[in-house]
Structure 1
């Protein structure tokens, strides 16, 4: 891709990221985000996730984001360095991130819709295990899943909570979703599934008064 000339910085509040931003500000020209063609994000995977969500919520077409790792893991990030930025941007390979769309109905009947770049998860709220009915494209595939929770992860999110729950790592750019149970008790041998990203996954909470769960889209909880 051609390196955009109008670039904006998005910077994590950590000291390391702030120091890096000052070094980049001395070496290159930058514009305000509302005038930019591209965002350069400095931070970790969590900050990258926040930056991508901000792009989803802005009017118009989301801007591409080039991340440089100044956090811990940096799965979604490139290595940090000051020099050679134009060449790095020109030689970078773009991956399209397709967010999941969570539509949740609360216990009082409120309907909430949220995007998720990493994962959508249902998590038990008490010491009682969750009991869930799982449907795929409106067909019941698991009448009762007894577990601590379940999550659906994108390729970008497959190395995060999904991987900790022993779910598969999906290639970036693949049109797949990992559906992964969290500490499943029954069925004992069910370890989840890899599904096409067009699949419609339904999760119905059984015994919601006794076994309440929360629904989480990335960092936003219902």
Structure 2
């Protein structure tokens, strides 16, 4: 960065944690309070969950988001430090992510739509296992999947619920989606699939009244669904920023080689 390069103006937001709120005030006292519409970058203080909230709230403004960790999980966040923050942000690497579109048909006939930055997940609502028919690009791939649920994850979401369900970690720049079962009973050995980002996935809920299923796009839930379609919204681009040398891709590699 040359001396003549202007430093970015920063808008600070924080999670509800008292420590994050205190850190936010400290940063505002140091660097000033800039309204969102005048800022170049949003600085989000919290954990990965708050990063997700900030990206959702930023769907209209679509400002780059630089996260600093003040939460329990910080895979998507940078380390917190008050000194030299504008310079860190100016030198940070930018990663573009695209959300998923979920269209869910309820048993009542209503259609509900939502966007997911992490994943779209289907989950059983009762003690009964779910039975799902899985179609990819208009071709049935699984006539009947008996399971607790199934999810489609973006690269950004591949280290969240998807990883807990033993799905693959996907680099952020990979044009791929993860299709991952949750506690699959039949076919027992099916571990999911890596799909092209252009794939259109459709889930049909079999025996929907006996085996009710909910569908969730991040934190937006639709209960008692009978069908769900998922596709990537390539027309929506969101930017996350990571410190130089500590990119998301480097963290993904470290996670995969962790003991």
The TM-score normalised by the length of structure 1 is 0.95
Name whichever of 34-43 and 136-145 sits farther off: 34-43
Distance 1:147 1:4, change over 3 A: farther
1:4: how far off?
5.2
Structure-1 residue corresponding to 2:156:
156
Q: Does the residue aligned with 2:94 lie in a helix, a strand or coil?
A: coil
Q: Does the residue aligned with 2:96 lie in a helix, a strand or coil?
A: coil
Per-residue CA distance 1:1-39 (angstroms, 9 max, x = gap): 976533211111111101111221222123111322211
Spell out the pairing of 1:162-173 with structure 2 (5 A cutoff): 162-173=162-173
Q: Does the residue aligned with 2:37 lie in a helix, a strand or coil?
A: helix
**Does the Cα contact within 8 Å between 2:20 and 2:70 map onto a contact in 1?**
yes
Would you say 1:64 and 2:53 are equivalent positions?
no
Higher relative contact order (CA 8 A, sep 6+): 2
**Does the Cα contact within 8 Å between 1:41 and 1:66 map onto a contact in 2?**
yes
Unaligned runs of 5+ in 2: 223-259
Q: Distance in 1 between matches of 2:192 and 2:219?
A: 22
Q: Distance in 1 between matches of 2:194 and 2:19?
A: 37
1:170: how far off?
0.8
Q: Does the residue aligned with 2:50 lie in a helix, a strand or coil?
A: helix
1:85: how far off?
0.8
Would you say 1:221 and 2:221 are equivalent positions?
yes
Match of 1:45 among 39, 43, 48: 48
Unaligned runs of 5+ in 1: none
**Does the Cα contact within 8 Å between 1:4 and 1:37 map onto a contact in 2?**
no
Structure-2 residue corresponding to 1:128:
128
Structure-1 residue corresponding to 2:231:
none
1:176: how far off?
1.1
Q: Distance in 2 between matches of 1:96 and 1:5?
A: 18
Q: Distance in 2 between matches of 1:211 and 1:154?
A: 27
Distance 1:46 1:208, change over 3 A: same
Structure-2 residue corresponding to 1:194:
194
Spell out the pairing of 1:1-222 with structure 2 (5 A cutoff): 5-56=8-59, 58=60, 61-222=61-222
**Does the Cα contact within 8 Å between 2:45 and 2:67 map onto a contact in 1?**
yes
1:173: how far off?
2.2
Between the two proteins, the alignment pairs up a number of residues equal to 219
Per-residue CA distance 1:166-198 (angstroms, 9 max, x = gap): 111111222211110000000111000011111
Q: Distance in 1 between matches of 2:51 and 2:148?
A: 28
Q: Does the residue aligned with 1:121 lie in a helix, a strand or coil?
A: strand
The TM-score normalised by the length of structure 2 is 0.82
Structure-1 residue corresponding to 2:226:
none
